[in-house]
């Protein structure tokens, strides 16, 4: 796992590699402020979040620990001085933040200093960026595209199919975005997932127009033109008010449609208050799960089980071949178990993830994930390879969720209260 900090000036430091060694920290913890109405929860809102980053700084070559600590704090302090947040990365995910305080221990020696840095953020969500660059068509393709125009004053054009670009957004929720349109471009009209993004403005050659849906600034300042001399001009009033030009972009399989007479850079900001996760091979994840929880289920036992089939991996629980706790009790056990590193995969999707420091993962987290993911994420499996537990959610309303701890004594058994899936 790579843990690094990149300040607002682009200076980067690896916090998990010598001379810096990150210790156990709470950087993945979070909290939302509850909004109440007459003692009833009406919603949640983002609030300031303060975290701790624990790092040992070790002497390296001619540089003693004190010198290296000073180098590190200089990198952090640049953001404080410029009032611009840096980015704390865990692999591909980052948290926009400031490192605003420092406590030091063992500083008397020049060989090692233990530091506790304070982190503050007003955006307690981890972000992963997905980028796509679309180049303009060549001149011959432009001529074809122009020939397909509609002269009847429609609100937006209908480009030919050859201009369409397909995009897969591997996430479970709508995402903020930044879209850069490069001139020359006239009457910008881009449709993404069926929604038009329209700005009635002429962008000259060498200029570019930026649409940024993030709430880092007021809504009326999120569309601007950058001129050849670097001057920025607010062009928010030139948007087509019939359609929200700041509407977030949905997850899933998307189509981007426009004339392709100009180039676009599109960056999606995939936000997650959940757990930074790394994609892994699904086949290997499924094999590991089966080795743990189907071990000991003999062909004879399967044959003795009426109507048993292996359409879903969780049938070992619903048919009673392996003892498991079901329903709300399964949720309770899942909340309490250790989740330092867990594996997550789905029955009907190729997606599989390794999630580190997943302590804040809850049954509600996974329920929401299933709702966003639809059929593909309806049957999900999460397990801890070392502690040998698994938590499974199914697409069946009357079956599951299941929680199972596989121990030496937890041999396959047909339970009296088991019931078969529909």
Tokens 């980028």: give the residue. 131
**Of all helices (H) and strands (E), which one includes residue 73?**
helix 65-82
Query: Residue 238: what pLDDT?
Result: 95
C-alpha 331/C-alpha 325 separation (Å) is: 9
Are 176 and 248 a contacting pair, CB within 8 Å?
Answer: yes
Query: Residue 363: what pLDDT?
Result: 85
C-alpha 155/C-alpha 242 separation (Å) is: 9
Instruction: Give SS3 for 110.
Output: coil
C-alpha 320/C-alpha 301 separation (Å) is: 11
Residues of the chain with pLDDT under 50: 140-160, 411-422
Produce one character per residue of 309-341: b if its CB has 16 or more CB atoms within 10 Å, e if not. Answer: eeebbbbbbbbbbbbbbbeeebbebbeeeebee
Q: Report CA torsion sign: 22, 28, 29, 31.
A: positive
C-alpha 276/C-alpha 27 separation (Å) is: 11
C-alpha 4/C-alpha 23 separation (Å) is: 13
Q: Which residues contact 377 (CB under 8 A, 6 or more apart)?
A: 172, 346, 348, 349, 351, 369, 370
Are 276 and 295 a contacting pair, CB within 8 Å?
Answer: no
Query: Residue 44: what pLDDT?
Result: 64
Are 82 and 8 a contacting pair, CB within 8 Å?
Answer: yes
What are the chain's domains?
3-124 (2.40.30.200), 128-272 (2.60.120.880), 277-405 (no CATH)
Q: Which residues contact 417 (CB under 8 A, 6 or more apart)?
A: none
Kindly report the number of other CB atoms within 10 A of residue 347's CB atom.
Answer: 19
C-alpha 117/C-alpha 54 separation (Å) is: 6
Q: What is the pTM of this model?
A: 0.57
Q: How far is CA 221 from the centre of its chain?
A: 26
Tokens 């300040």: give the residue. 7
Are 327 and 397 a contacting pair, CB within 8 Å?
Answer: no
């Amino acid at each position: 796992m790579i843990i690094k900090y990149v300040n607002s000036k682009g200076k980067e430091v690896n916090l998990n590699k010598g001379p810096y060694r990150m210790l156990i920290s709470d950087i993945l913890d979070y909290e939302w402020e509850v909004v109440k109405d007459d003692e009833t929860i009406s919603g949640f809102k983002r609030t300031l979040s303060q975290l701790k980053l624990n790092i040992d700084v070790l002497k390296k070559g001619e540089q003693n620990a004190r010198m290296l600590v000073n180098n590190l704090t200089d990198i952090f302090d640049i953001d404080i001085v410029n009032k611009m947040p840096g980015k704390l990365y865990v692999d591909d995910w980052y948290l926009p933040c400031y490192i605003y305080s420092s406590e030091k221990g063992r500083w008397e020696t020049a060989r090692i200093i233990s530091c506790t840095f304070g982190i503050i953020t007003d955006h307690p969500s981890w972000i992963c960026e997905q980028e796509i660059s679309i180049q303009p068509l060549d001149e011959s393709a432009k001529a074809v595209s122009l020939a397909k125009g509609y002269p009847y004053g429609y609100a937006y054009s209908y480009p030919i199919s050859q201009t369409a670009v397909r995009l897969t957004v591997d996430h479970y929720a709508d995402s903020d975005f930044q879209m850069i349109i490069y001139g020359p471009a006239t009457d910008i009209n881009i449709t993404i997932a069926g929604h038009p993004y329209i700005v009635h403005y002429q962008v000259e050659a060498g200029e570019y127009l930026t649409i940024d849906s993030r709430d880092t600034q007021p809504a009326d300042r999120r569309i601007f033109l950058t001129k050849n001399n670097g001057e920025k001009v607010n062009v928010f009033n030139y948007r087509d008010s019939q359609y929200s030009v700041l509407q977030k972009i949905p997850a899933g399989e998307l189509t981007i449609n426009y004339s392709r007479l100009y180039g676009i850079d599109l960056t999606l900001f995939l936000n997650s208050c959940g757990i930074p996760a790394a994609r892994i091979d699904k086949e290997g994840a499924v094999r590991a799960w089966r080795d743990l929880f189907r071990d000991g289920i003999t062909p004879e036992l399967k044959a003795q089980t009426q109507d048993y089939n292996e359409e879903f991996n969780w049938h070992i629980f619903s048919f009673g071949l392996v003892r498991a706790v079901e329903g709300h009790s399964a949720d309770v056990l899942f909340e309490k178990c250790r989740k330092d590193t867990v594996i997550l995969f789905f029955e009907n999707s190729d997606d599989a993830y390794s999630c580190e420091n997943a302590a804040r993962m809850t049954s509600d987290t996974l329920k929401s994930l299933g709702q966003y993911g639809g059929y593909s994420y309806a049957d999900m499996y999460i397990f801890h390879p070392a502690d040998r537990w698994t938590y499974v959610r199914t697409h069946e309303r009357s079956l599951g969720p299941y929680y199972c701890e596989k121990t030496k004594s937890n041999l396959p058994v047909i339970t009296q209260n088991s019931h078969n899936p529909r």
